[in-house]
Amino acid sequence: MRNDIYVSVNQVSCYYGAHCAVDNLSFEVKRGEVLGFLGPNGAGKSTTMAMITGNLAPSAGQILVNGIDILDKPKEAKANIGFLPEQPPLYRDLTVDEYLRFCAKLNRVGKAKINTAVDAAKQRCGLTEVGKRLIDNLSKGYQQRVGIAQAIVHSPAVVILDEPTVGLDPIQIREIRRLVRELGGEHSVILSTHILPEIQVTCDRVQIINKGKLVLSDTVAGIEQYMGASSLVIALKNAPVVTALESIPLVNAVASLGDGRFRLVYEPESDPAEQIVQTAVNNNWGLHEIFPEKRSLEQIFVDITTSEADNKSGVNVEHSRDTEGAVA
Partner 1 sequence: MMMMTIAAKELRALFLSPMAWAILAVVQGIVAYFFLIFLENFLQLQPHLATLPDAPGISSIVVAPLFATVSVVLLLIVPLLTMRLVSEERRNKTLTLLMSAPVSISEIVIGKFTGIMIFLLLLLALISLMPLSLLFGSSLDVGMFLTGLLALTLLLASFTAVGLYVSTLTTQPTVAAVGTFGILLLLWILDLAGTTGDTPTLLAYLSIMTHYQNLLQGIFSSSDVIYYLLFILVFLVLSIRRLDAERLPH
Binding interface with partner 1 (CB under 8 A): 14-17, 21, 53-57, 59, 74-76, 78-79, 81, 83, 85, 87, 89-94, 98, 102-103, 105-108, 150
Nearer to partner 1, 191 or 196 (CB): 191
Cβ nearer to partner 1, comparing 92 with 140: 92
Q: Rounded to 5 degrees, what are φ and ψ at 100? A: -70, -35
Nearer to partner 1, 14 or 173 (CB): 14
Closest distance of CB 93 from partner 1, Å? 5
Instruction: Report the alpha-carbon distance of residue 72 to residue 50 in Å, rounded.
Output: 16
CA 131 from chain centre, in angstroms, equals 31
- If the CB atoms of residues 36 and 88 are measured against partner 1, the closer one turns out to be 88
Question: What is the closest distance, in whole angstroms, from the C-beta atom of residue 307 to partner 1 in the complex?
Answer: 28
CB 98, min distance to partner 1, A: 8
How far apart are CB 157 and partner 1 at their closest, in Å?
A: 13
* SS3 category, 197: helix
DSSP class per residue in 87-108: S----TTSBHHHHHHHHHHHTT
What are residue 210's DSSP bridge partners?
Answer: 213
Angle between helices 297-307 and 317-327 (to 10 degrees): 110
Distance between CA atoms of 205 and 33, rounded to whole angstroms? 8
> How far apart are CB 19 and partner 1 at their closest, in Å?
9
Classify residue 307 by burial, with Cβ atoms within 10 Å: 0-12, 13-18, 19+. middle
